[in-house]
Amino acid sequence: MIPSALFWTVTILLGIGTFFIRFSFLGILGNRRMPEWVMAHLRYTAVAVFPALVTPLVLWPGGQGGETDPARLIAALVVFLVGLRFNVIAGILAGMSSLYALQYLLS
Amino acid sequence: MMVRTRQSFWRGFWDCAPFMVIVVPYAMLFGVVARDAGLDIYQVMAMSVLVVAGASQFTALALMQEHAPVIVILAASLAVNLRMAMYSAALVPHLGHLRLRTRALISYLMVDQSFAVSVRKYAEEPDMKPDAKAAYYFGALLAVGPLWYICTFAGAAVGQAIPPMFSLDFAVPVCFIAMTAPMLRSLPHVVAAFASVAGAIVFSWMPYNLWLIAAALLAMIAGAQTEFYLKRKAQA
């Protein structure tokens, strides 16, 4: 369960934060340029956060100290390959259906 | 004048309409997964209305479930949305002339799909009038923006009816992996992704989910350094 106080604190601050990220240049900074080294780091924020976030969820599902589940491991690989070759939605569909298939076969 | 503006609006709408195919299931998935995580329907809707950013919402949801500290949740959830700062900068030459109120509205509802469609259009038709550019952008926005709310609600409404045997907890990593895979289009992106995974494993001992921040910083530096290295090599 997510505590209500935590939820509202995060959601409201996140709402303000995401707005100001989007409003940054359009509303405040205008045509000012960011230094190239800052832009170079910004380019990789998404590929820097997502894989790290996913790693424990795939390797140790069910929280820290959880056991590795072969079905989830293989399903994660399937999503990756299908997402790489085709697109996001195809990846999600292939991943979830392969998870169900593997859970059925391995049980 | 009016006619041309209206025309641009609908052209924007139809150019962005194909992306409904992505937005509808993605928003529904968020609704379903958020309900599965124990949020009530008001909380789910509050998130979609206040944050309007799928990646940030999924990240925050995953970290709130682990009861991570607020500062860590915010840092990670905002980081995945930083690309919007680049969008914001890219839109200034085209939409910077609008009234502040209008620019605030554009910022609130800035999403990947309408941005991508509009910027491509502005590049194709350099002599588009400022009014037409704005109308085009709002048309593109209307095609996908409202769907974000509607489909989150639809997902949240059916969410609780889905039994645990469907392993919805795994929909979050599946979603993130599917979003990341198409981003790996250059060597620096691949290096950053690998550094990110390695960092998550190596730093997993850190308390308060700080491993995530450490791994993300490491990966950003790895990506940027690879980019600098390739540039130097190309110049040499």
Position B119 pLDDT exceeds 90: no
Task: State whether residue B97 sits within 8 Å of chain A by CB.
Answer: no
Give the ipTM: 0.85
Phi-psi bin for B52: left (phi > 0), alpha (psi -120 to 50), beta? left
Q: How far is B129 from chain A (nearest CA, A)?
A: 18
Positions in chain A whose pLDDT score sits under 70: 62-65
Task: State whether residue B161 sits within 8 Å of chain A by CB.
Answer: no
Q: State mean pLDDT over B176-195.
A: 91
Q: Rounded to two decimals, what is the model's pTM? A: 0.81
Q: Would the CA dihedral through B16, B22, B25, B26 be positive or negative? A: negative
Percent of chain B exceeding pLDDT 90 equals 50
Q: State mean pLDDT over B111-127.
A: 86
State the pLDDT confidence band at B138, using cuts at 50, 70 and 90.
Answer: very high
Query: Is residue A3 classed exposed, middle or buried when 0-12, 13-18 and 19+ CB atoms within 10 A define those classes?
Result: exposed
- Mapped onto helix, strand or coil, the DSSP state of residue B127 is coil
Task: State whether residue A76 sits within 8 Å of chain B by CB.
Answer: yes
Cβ distance B94 to B122 under 8 Å? yes
**Residue B167 has what pLDDT?**
79
User: What is the residue type of B171?
Assistant: A
pLDDT tens string B148-180: 999 999 999 987 777 777 777 788 888 889 888
Q: Which of B112, B174, B175, B194 to mutate to test the interface with A (most CBs of A within 10 A)?
A: B174
**Residue A65 has what pLDDT?**
60
User: What is the residue type of B115?
Assistant: F
State the pLDDT confidence band at B1, using cuts at 50, 70 and 90.
Answer: low
